[in-house]
Amino acid sequence: MSDRKEHWENVYKDKSPLEVSWYVNEPVLSLQLIANTQVSLNAPIIDVGGGASLLVDHLCDKGYDNLGVLDISANALACAKDRLGDRADKIEWYDNDVTCFNSPHQFSVWHDRAVFHFLKEESDRRAYVDVLKRALEPNGHVIIAAFAIGGPTQCSGLDIVQYNAEKLQAELGDDFELLEERSELHITPANKEQKFAYFRFIRKS
């Protein structure tokens, strides 16, 4: 087991999904940005680092029916499966590190709330972008949320990288065009403030 996987397995072994700092009951901005892509309800959408997030529940409620969730923690995915019950059978679950994910098909929307900012090493970021390019169809949408400039410098005991639009564009490269940028002041379950920045890119055809 890699150090990274062991870390996240322990997080979800030791804490309830309701206690982790990134927990949100209703992921409003993520849902808005996904709606803004105007993809059809049966378009393939993947939530990268989705783990125990409630985003997949809300997407199901809205009628999206071609969903995938990727997470490095099997414990996190198990929480989501248990919560969803029978609805979990209709979702693709991927227990994998995103930097070595081999997608079985392409997606129309790639959503990542708070995974990319954990990739401190340039080699990991390059691997992530390579996976993204293989997994996303032409004209597909990328939604990435990360700690904003001036936000936290650590999360879950790990250092992170803060992002603005220019910095993230440089990481993704010229194959992607920025369409939207939004900001959010996230209040954690411990009542602490975290500055997030959300970005929606389209992959150029």
List Cβ neighbours of 179 (8 Å cut-off, separation of 6 or more).
141, 200, 201, 202
- Look-up of token digits 């049966």: 42
Q: So what's the pLDDT on residue 14?
A: 60
- Structural domain harbouring 66: 3-203
Q: What radius of gyration do the chain's Cα atoms show?
A: 16
Contact call for residues 103 and 148 (beta carbons, < 8 A): no
Average pLDDT over residues 27-52: 96
In this structure, the number of other CB atoms found within 10 A of the CB of residue 94 comes to 18
Q: Is pLDDT larger for residue 2 or for residue 101?
A: 101
Return the CATH number at 197. Answer: 3.40.50.150
**Would you call 144 helix, strand, or coil by DSSP?**
strand
Q: So what's the pLDDT on residue 12?
A: 59
Secondary element (H or E) of residue 8: helix 3-14
Q: So what's the pLDDT on residue 15?
A: 59
pTM of the predicted model as reported, rounded to 2 decimal places? 0.91
Q: Report the domain count for the chain.
A: 1
Confidence at 7, pLDDT banded by 50, 70, 90: low
**DSSP collapsed to 3 states, 92-111:** EEEECCHHHCCCCCCEEEEE
* pLDDT tens digits, one per residue of 43-68: 999 999 998 899 999 999 999 999 99
Contact call for residues 43 and 109 (beta carbons, < 8 A): yes
Confidence at 187, pLDDT banded by 50, 70, 90: confident
